[in-house]
């Protein structure tokens, strides 16, 4: 079995077709070597973020790198960063840019999902109120049934205690019989 590993350089692209063309190039090259599998870098799709040509302000990039454990110094629009010793995967400026874009991109996606969820909840509030009302009615009915059951249990116990004693009981109440629980707790 042959496995090919791709050393993929992240470059800015203007459209998805450029990304697809680069991937196809490597797949074709690997096919020439008759490889059974091709392994791309874990985050090679990060290149797709460059389609938007997104600019991350230096202050935000500095905040992200600091939160990731980098020692940073902001000098205007330039960030000077010291890579922490536990990050051997960071080997240059491209890796730092990748980290910042990844975190900034996730933050945008999370914010968009939160806004979407809030909008959905606002639109479906009537459903939540309806379900709350139904749940309240069910709980009220359950509470009434429990009160009724407790009252019937008390009456049954009082009735048992007021039963006339048999001559062989000698006026002594028998010990209750312990049964196995019906449901394990």
Chain segment 107-148, per-residue pLDDT in tens: 666 666 666 666 665 655 555 566 667 767 777 777 777 777
- Answering whether pTM is above 0.85, one says no
Write down the number of H helices and E strands in the chain: 4, 4
Helices (H), 58-184: 58-67, 93-123, 125-161
Pair (37, 12) in one structural domain: yes
184: three-class secondary structure by DSSP: coil
What are 94's two structure tokens?
């491209």
* Contact present, 12 and 50 (Cβ < 8 Å): yes
Chain segment 17-55, per-residue pLDDT in tens: 888 888 888 888 888 888 888 888 877 777 776 776 667
Mean pLDDT of 64-79: 87
Question: Within a domain: residue 170?
Answer: no
Pair (18, 29) in one structural domain: yes
Single out the residue in 76, 93, 123 at which a domain terminates.
123
Pair (108, 70) in one structural domain: yes
Pair (67, 13) in one structural domain: no
In whole angstroms, what is the distance from residue 10 CA to residue 32 CA?
A: 23
Mean pLDDT of 99-110: 72
CATH of the domain at 85: 3.30.56.10
In whole angstroms, what is the distance from residue 72 CA to residue 158 CA?
A: 79
Burial status of residue 44 (CB atoms within 10 A of its CB: 0-12, 13-18, 19 or more):
middle
Query: Domain of 157?
Result: 126-161
**What's the confidence (pLDDT) of residue 110?**
64
Question: Within a domain: residue 42?
Answer: yes
Pair (46, 76) in one structural domain: no
Pair (29, 75) in one structural domain: no
* Contact present, 98 and 43 (Cβ < 8 Å): yes
Question: Within a domain: residue 47?
Answer: yes
In whole angstroms, what is the distance from residue 133 CA to residue 125 CA?
A: 12
Single out the residue in 103, 123, 143 at which a domain terminates.
123
């Amino acid at each position: 079995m042959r496995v090919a590993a791709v050393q993929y350089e992240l470059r800015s692209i203007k459209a998805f077709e450029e990304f697809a063309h680069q991937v196809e190039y490597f797949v074709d090259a690997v096919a020439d070597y008759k490889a059974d599998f091709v392994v791309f870098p874990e985050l090679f799709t990060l290149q797709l973020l460059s389609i938007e040509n997104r600019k991350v302000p230096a202050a935000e990039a500095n905040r992200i790198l600091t939160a990731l454990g980098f020692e940073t110094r902001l000098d205007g629009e330039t960030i000077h960063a010291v890579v922490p010793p536990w990050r051997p995967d960071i080997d240059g400026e491209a890796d730092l840019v990748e980290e910042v874009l990844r975190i900034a991109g996730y933050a945008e996606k999370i914010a968009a999902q939160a806004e979407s969820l809030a909008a959905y909840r606002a639109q479906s509030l009537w459903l939540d109120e309806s379900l709350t009302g139904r749940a309240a009615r069910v709980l009220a009915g359950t509470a009434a049934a429990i009160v009724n059951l407790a009252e019937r249990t008390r009456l049954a116990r009082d009735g048992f205690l007021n039963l006339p004693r048999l001559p062989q009981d000698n006026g002594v109440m028998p010990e209750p019989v312990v049964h196995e629980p019906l449901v394990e707790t």
